[in-house]
Amino acid sequence: MANTTSAKKATRKIARLTAINKARRSRVRGFIRKVEEAIASGDLAVATAALKAAQPEIQRAATKGVLHGNTASRKVSRLAQRVKALAA
């Protein structure tokens, strides 16, 4: 248990940031799921729209430190690749 004032404050900060990061991570997963569902349904227009919405959200998570930058880029790249494959 935190005893000093600064340690108590740090505990409060960590709890607040953990909640924010959980929300961001959950939001990103939701956007990714929408893209994957659109790909599974085979609808190119919906998949493209979902990818356009998901891309900035994934990159924002990387900017905020929820995801590593390379991880975010990899996820966007792989989703884009799968959406592109629908067109062919």
pLDDT in tens, 49-59: 999 999 999 99
- 14 is written with which tokens? 């960590």
Give the rounded distance of the alpha carbon of 82 from its chain centre. 17
Helix axes of 5-41 and 69-87: crossing angle, nearest 10 degrees: 10
Question: Coil, helix or strand for 65?
Answer: coil
Domain around 17: 7-84
- What pLDDT, in 10s, does the model give residues 13-45? 999 999 999 999 999 999 999 999 999 999 999
Q: Which CATH number goes with the domain that contains 21?
A: 1.20.58.110
Asked whether residue 76 is domain-assigned, the answer is: yes
pTM: 0.87
Please name the residue ranges forming H helices in 1-88. 5-41, 44-63, 69-87
